């Protein structure tokens, strides 16, 4: 009897654990379904990227001799959900068993568990660290810190290791990777691809079905198959990696990509293997093409943060995304969806997000994320926004970054303090402030930067939780040294700003 082999849209890897079990007569099930395209209002670019990549991957499987049952979004018999498609295909071929690689979010794992079929979920072994391995590492640790996990991954993979010791005599070169934005960038950006016939067909479909969603579908330049993704990786290593480390935290109004790779889309969908990516960067260091600080910083984001986020997500279970230890309950402001705001850093980051389905990690953490935390936005709404608007966002990686790192809503599972800052950090790392309606140098009064006001407002309202945090003690000492009337002015102006924002005024 035939079995069904499920391949999801972010599992486009020929060596997928479920595919490795396929036998003659088994049917590969792939489906473009409304439930997955719209459970949050995904960016049209993300939907188009996945549908085009799925269609090409299905064609490759068929060329390799697999029997594929592929459902397009506009197929008249499309049931609209992954469980519905599995039941439909099971009835068609008389199958009673489904082999699946474990999905990357609890929602789908639970949906598969509830199917009235025998569903065998295999581990997703496309990661360096398995879920049981992370659980063993985390067991009995008082604190979970990415840095120590990262060192274990370096030892396990051998990446940037020399005779059992870290290359260059240290594990982390982060202190060299915090240069402010340069005056100009001598890199033309990530490799762009002209849509082929398959991709154009998908773009037309997405325009019809998701034309009113937040985000610009065109121009569309993403890679949509493994060959293109490998070319995008090679382009980054050759042209951008050498300066990636220096400027990875910088932000420029006139250059959206700087020296970033923009390959997380491809890794997270399965078109690129994380170790393949890291080894390409490591080889550039061995050949003298890229400095160690750049390569180490890049490798750390992949086998460090990326793997660590996945471990945290699965360690803390399906309720993780509902955590809100700070009790933040303000609605996500309209300007996160493209509404007008006078805060130039927010406006430019959201504009870029709308047009590119991309913003780099500091724009996400220290601009949109920092503001949401300072303003007391409901972390669930913040999480849903990030999941919706970025093409590389899947819950296993997005939720810990937002709930844990960005919004501190988990109470510090792995972050030692909340990532909050006044406008000074943005002014140092970006050129947004020069043309802003607000003055980053003004702490109070007409035209004072809202980040300056909200920073102290945040610290004041959460004093009981954070004043004894060693990494925040200096901030509270500075606050306490302010004259009482100045503190009162700061808090009153911050409250006024938040009230105007909540009332729908342009702020």
Secondary structure of residue 38 in the 3-state scheme: helix
- For range 411-423, the mean pLDDT: 96
- List, for residues 348-396, the tens digit of each pLDDT value: 999 999 999 999 999 999 999 999 999 999 999 999 999 999 999 999 9
436 and 430 Cβ atoms separated by less than 8 Å = no
- For range 22-39, the mean pLDDT: 96
User: Quick one: pLDDT band at residue 436, thresholds 50, 70, 90?
Assistant: very high
DSSP code at position 344: H
Of 506, 429, 420, 428, whose CA–CA distance to 461 is shortest?
Answer: 420
- List, for residues 438-478, the tens digit of each pLDDT value: 999 999 999 999 999 999 999 999 999 999 999 999 999 99
The pTM for the full model equals 0.97
User: Quick one: pLDDT band at residue 138, thresholds 50, 70, 90?
Assistant: very high
pLDDT higher than threshold 90 for residue 181: no
In this predicted structure, what is the pLDDT of residue 392? Answer: 98
Domains of the chain, CATH where assigned: 4-122 (3.40.50.620), 131-192+226-316 (1.25.40.80), 334-502 (1.10.579.10)
Q: Tell me the C-alpha distance between 499 and 460, whole Å.
A: 17
pLDDT higher than threshold 80 for residue 1: no
In this predicted structure, what is the pLDDT of residue 184? Answer: 83
pLDDT higher than threshold 80 for residue 94: yes
Residue 482 neighbours by CB distance under 10 Å: 14
Residue 188 neighbours by CB distance under 10 Å: 11
Lowest-confidence pick of 42-51, 112-121, 174-183: 174-183
| Rg, C-alpha atoms of the chain | 24
In this predicted structure, what is the pLDDT of residue 159? Answer: 98
pLDDT higher than threshold 90 for residue 128: yes
Dihedral of alpha carbons 157, 399, 264, 261, sign: negative
The values of phi and psi at residue 71, to 5°, are -110, 120
Residue 370 neighbours by CB distance under 10 Å: 28
39 and 46 Cβ atoms separated by less than 8 Å = no
Secondary structure of residue 4 in the 3-state scheme: strand
Residue 119 pairs in a beta bridge with: 98
Q: Tell me the C-alpha distance between 243 and 186, whole Å.
A: 10
The values of phi and psi at residue 408, to 5°, are 50, 30
Alpha helix (H) ranges present in 287-399?
292-299, 307-316, 344-356, 361-362, 370-375, 379-389, 395-399
Alpha helix (H) ranges present in 357-483?
361-362, 370-375, 379-389, 395-399, 423-429, 450-461, 463-466, 473-481
- SS3 labels along 413-447: CCCCCCCCCCHHHHHHHECCHHHCCCECCCCCCCC
- For range 153-162, the mean pLDDT: 98
Q: What percent of the chain has pLDDT over 90?
A: 96
Secondary structure of residue 235 in the 3-state scheme: helix
Q: Tell me the C-alpha distance between 423 and 431, whole Å.
A: 12
24 and 63 Cβ atoms separated by less than 8 Å = no
- Straight-line distance from the first to the last Cα atom of the chain, in angstroms, rounded to the nearest whole number: 63
Average pLDDT of the chain? 97
Q: Tell me the C-alpha distance between 145 and 143, whole Å.
A: 6
- List, for residues 232-242, the tens digit of each pLDDT value: 999 999 999 99
């Amino acid at each position: 009897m035939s079995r069904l082999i499920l391949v999801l849209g972010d599992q486009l890897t020929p060596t997928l654990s479920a595919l490795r079990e396929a036998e003659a007569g088994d049917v590969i099930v792939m489906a473009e379904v409304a439930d997955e395209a719209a459970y949050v209002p995904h960016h049209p670019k993300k939907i188009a990227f996945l549908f085009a990549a799925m269609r090409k991957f299905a064609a490759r499987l068929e060329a390799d001799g697999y029997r594929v049952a592929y459902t397009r979004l506009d197929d008249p018999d499309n049931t609209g959900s992954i469980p519905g498609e599995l039941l439909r295909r099971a009835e068609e071929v008389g199958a009673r068993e489904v082999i699946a690689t474990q999905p990357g979010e609890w929602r789908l794992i639970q949906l598969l568990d509830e199917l009235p079929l025998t569903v065998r979920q295999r581990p997703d072994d496309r990661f360096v660290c398995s879920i049981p391995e992370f659980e063993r590492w985390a067991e009995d640790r008082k604190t979970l810190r990415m840095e120590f996990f990262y060192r274990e991954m370096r030892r396990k993979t051998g990446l940037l290791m020399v005779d059992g010791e870290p290359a260059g005599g240290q594990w982390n070169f982060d202190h060299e990777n915090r240069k402010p934005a340069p005056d100009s960038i001598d890199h033309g950006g990530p490799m762009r691809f002209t849509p082929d016939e398959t991709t154009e067909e998908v773009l037309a479909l997405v325009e019809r079905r998701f034309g009113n969603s937040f985000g610009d579908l065109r121009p569309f330049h993403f890679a949509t198959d493994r060959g293109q993704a490998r070319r995008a990786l090679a382009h980054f290593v050759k042209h951008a990696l050498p300066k990636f480390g220096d400027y990875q935290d910088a932000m420029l109004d006139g250059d959206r990509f700087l020296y970033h790779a923009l390959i997380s889309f491809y890794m997270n969908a399965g078109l690129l293997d994380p170790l393949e990516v890291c080894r390409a960067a490591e080889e550039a260091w061995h050949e003298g093409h890229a400095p160690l600080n750049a390569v180490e910083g890049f490798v750390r984001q992949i086998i460090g943060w990326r793997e660590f986020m996945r471990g945290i997500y699965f360690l803390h279970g399906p309720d993780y995304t509902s955590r809100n230890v700070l009790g933040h309950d303000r609605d996500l402001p309209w300007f996160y969806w493209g509404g007008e705001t006078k805060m130039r850093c927010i406006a430019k980051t959201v504009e870029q997000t709308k047009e590119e389905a991309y913003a780099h990690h500091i724009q996400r953490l220290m601009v949109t994320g920092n503001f949401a935390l300072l303003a007391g936005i409901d972390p669930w709404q913040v999480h849903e926004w990030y999941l919706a608007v970025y093409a590389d966002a899947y819950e296993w990686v997005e939720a810990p970054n937002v709930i844990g790192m960005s919004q501190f809503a988990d109470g510090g599972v792995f972050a030692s303090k909340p990532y909050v800052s006044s406008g000074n950090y943005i002014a140092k790392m970006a050129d947004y402030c020069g043309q802003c309606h607000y003055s980053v140098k003004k702490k109070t009064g007409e035209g004072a930067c809202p980040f300056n006001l909200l920073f102290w407002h945040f610290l004041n309202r959460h004093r009981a939780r954070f004043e004894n945090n060693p990494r925040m003690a200096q901030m509270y000492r500075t606050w306490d040294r302010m004259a009482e009337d100045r503190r009162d002015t700061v808090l009153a102006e911050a409250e006024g700003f938040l009230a105007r924002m909540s009332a729908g005024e342009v702020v």
